[in-house]
Structure formats: structure tokens, C-alpha cells
């Protein structure tokens, strides 16, 4: 099962992801995005009279099934298809992260920052809670997530999606190369 156990090359995975856009548009006039799923879940579960959640969420059931499929696929992949080894990380990246104080590279995320015990530290609280809030705020402020804007929006030639994607990339580079080293130094 090497076709399932190993990452696919970009020249196969990229076009397959790209084909999702025209298929969704042609087959059902639907747009792809993950962050809107949270809105659908809230509309289904919170029977409040909040205008933002007051719409027919049942028309978007396919999106909920899609996200459940992502979760189920992730569970199946990590439980049954994983080789049990550590995640391969570039040696130069490991060296830089070790200089910043990260030592554990055994999981998908470094447990020095992303674990329940790290949550009780200033560094863990800052990265997980404040960072999570900023991602959620940014998603709402931008009117969608990276997958919605970068895959669906740009493919359907939407100017705001191009601007949002450029801002996502610039923010990611700024965080990685400027803020993260400063945060590691201060904390």
C-alpha cells in the first residue's frame, strides 16, 4: 500500500485538489471552504435568533459530511496506516528549532509547545490559545480560511481571495522569520 502510506508528489496532488473547484461548481454550484463549516454547526446546534446563524444550514449538509470525512480520514491514517516513525523534518529546521529551545520532535507537533502540560506555560498559552484566537479572528475577518480563498477563490478569479492569500502568506512569513524567534527569545 505505498500509494496510501506515502505522500503523493505535487504534480499529482496539486491537480487533484485543483479539480475539486470545477467539480463543485459544475456539479452543484457549491464553493469549497472549511471555516464555513463552523458556522453551519453553530446554526444547527444553537437555536438562537442570531441573524448570522439564521439561514437554512441543511442546504450545506454536504460540507458537514466533507469535514467529518476529513476527521475520519485523519483518524484512519494515523491509527491504521501510520508507520509509527517520527515525522520527517529537515535537518536544518531541526537545528534552528533546537536553538530556540525545542527538543522533542517525536510527534506531528513539538510537544515542547503543543501539549496539555505546555498549555500551562506562558509559551504554550501564547502559542495555542492566543494563536488559535488570532487564527479564528483572522479567518472571520478575511471572510474565509486559507483553503477557501487560496483554492476556491483564486481558481474562480476573485480579487479579494488573491489579496487574502497574499496576506496569509505575508503574515506566515512574518510570524516565522520575525515574531517567532523573538517570542522564543523572550519566553
Task: Per-residue pLDDT tens, the chain, 187 aa: give them.
Answer: 677 777 788 899 889 888 888 888 888 888 878 888 888 888 888 877 888 888 888 888 888 898 999 999 989 988 888 777 777 788 998 898 898 888 888 777 888 888 888 888 888 899 899 999 998 898 888 888 888 898 888 888 899 999 999 999 999 999 988 998 888 888 8
What pLDDT was estimated at residue 1? 67
Task: Give residues with Cβ within 8 angstroms of 117, minimum separation 6.
Answer: 111, 124
* Greatest Cα pair distance in the chain: 53
Terminal-to-terminal C-alpha distance of the chain: 44
Amino acid at each position: 500500500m505505498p500509494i496510501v502510506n506515502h505522500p503523493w508528489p505535487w504534480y499529482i496532488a496539486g491537480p487533484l485538489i485543483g479539480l475539486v473547484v470545477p467539480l463543485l461548481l459544475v456539479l452543484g454550484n457549491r464553493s469549497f471552504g472549511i471555516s464555513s463549516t463552523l458556522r453551519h454547526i453553530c446554526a444547527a446546534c444553537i437555536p438562537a435568533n442570531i441573524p448570522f446563524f439564521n439561514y437554512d444550514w441543511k442546504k450545506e449538509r454536504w460540507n458537514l459530511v466533507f469535514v467529518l470525512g476529513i476527521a475520519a480520514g485523519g483518524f484512519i491514517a494515523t491509527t491504521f496506516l501510520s508507520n509509527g516513525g517520527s515525522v520527517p523534518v529537515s535537518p536544518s529546521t531541526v537545528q534552528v528549532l533546537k536553538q530556540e529551545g525545542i527538543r522533542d520532535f517525536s510527534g506531528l507537533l513539538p510537544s515542547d509547545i503543543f501539549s496539555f502540560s505546555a498549555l500551562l506555560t506562558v509559551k504554550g498559552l501564547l502559542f495555542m490559545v492566543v494563536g488559535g484566537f488570532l487564527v479564528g479572528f483572522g479567518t472571520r475577518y478575511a471572510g474565509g480560511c486559507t483553503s477557501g480563498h487560496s483554492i476556491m477563490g483564486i481558481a474562480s478569479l476573485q480579487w479579494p481571495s488573491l489579496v487574502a492569500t497574499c496576506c496569509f502568506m505575508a503574515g506566515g512569513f512574518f510570524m516565522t522569520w520575525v515574531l517567532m524567534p523573538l517570542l522564543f527569545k523572550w519566553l
